Amino acid sequence: MLCKDITRDKPIVIDKSLTLDLNGRTLQRDLDAPVADGCVIRVEQSADLTVKDESTAKTGKITGGNNTGSGGGIYNRGTLILEGGAITGNKAEDGGDVYNRGTLNLSGGPSVQNNTQGNVYLPTGRKIQVTGALDAQAAIGIDMESPGAFTQGYPAGGADPDAYFTSDDGALSVRRSPDGGEAMLFAPYTLSTSGCQGAVTFMVNGAAATPDANGNLTLPQTMPSY
C-alpha cells in the first residue's frame, strides 16, 4: 500500500507475486523526455502484479513514464491484474502505455486512458482476460496489432463493451463479436453511391460493390472480415 506519493528515477521491477494498492496516491517517473527503460513498472516473466486502489476517493494513479520503447506505464511480460487505479499521462514511442506481452486480467474499475501512443496495446495473439464484473468507472483504451476480438470471458449478460472500452484507432470501433460474445475492434462498413438513372456506382468502405440482377450487392474481396 502506498502511504505517500512516490517519484522513481528507475522502473519498479516486479519479479515475484505482489499487490500494489495505490491508496489514492501517485506513483510516477516524472520524465519530460523519453529514456530507455522509461516505464514506471516492468513485470517480469513468471511474476504477477495486482494493481488496485482501495481509497475512498479512488484517485490513485501511475503516471509520468516516458519510454523510448514500448509500455510507458507498465511493460508486462508476466501476469498483470488490473482491478483499480488510473494509468494515465504516460508516453511510449512504440506501442502503448500498458504493453502486454504476457497475461492481462481485468475486473473492477481500472482506468487506462489519456496516454500517448496508445493505452493498452495487445500484440497479435494477446487478449484481455475479463475475470470479474467491471464497475462503472472502468475505462480502457485499446490498440491492437491485428484488429478483432480482444477479450476472453466477457460477460454475455453484461453491458455492451463500448461502455468500458474505446478504440485508440479512430478508424475502428468497439462492439460485441457477431456471435454476441467477446468484445472486438472492427472497421464500420460505410455504403455510398454515385451516379443516377441506371449508372449508379456503389462503394463499400471505398471499394466498388456490384449489384446482381436481383439488386443484391456482392461485396469486394478487400472487405475486412472478423
Q: Confirm if 193 and 202 have CB atoms less than 8 A apart.
A: yes
Residues recorded for the chain: 226
CA 109 to chain centroid, in Å, comes to 14
Average pLDDT, the chain: 90
CA dihedral 97, 98, 101, 104 (to 10 degrees): -160
Q: What pLDDT score was predicted for residue 210?
A: 67
* Banded pLDDT at 215 (limits 50, 70, 90): low
Rounded CA-CA distance 59/47 in Å is 26
Query: What average pLDDT does the segment 148-177 reach?
Result: 94
Rounded CA-CA distance 109/210 in Å is 47
Q: Confirm if 11 and 37 have CB atoms less than 8 A apart.
A: yes
Minimum mean pLDDT range among 32-41, 144-153, 215-224: 215-224
Minimum mean pLDDT range among 78-82, 106-110, 158-162: 158-162
112 has pLDDT over 70: yes
Q: Confirm if 132 and 155 have CB atoms less than 8 A apart.
A: no
At 207, list the grid cell: 471499394
Rounded CA-CA distance 157/74 in Å is 31
Q: What pLDDT score was predicted for residue 214?
A: 73
Q: Confirm if 66 and 39 have CB atoms less than 8 A apart.
A: no
Task: Name the 3-class secondary structure at 15.
Answer: coil
Q: Give the up-direction half-sphere exposure of residue 188: CA atoms within 13 A in the CB hemisphere.
A: 11
Domain ranges of the chain: 6-186, 189-226
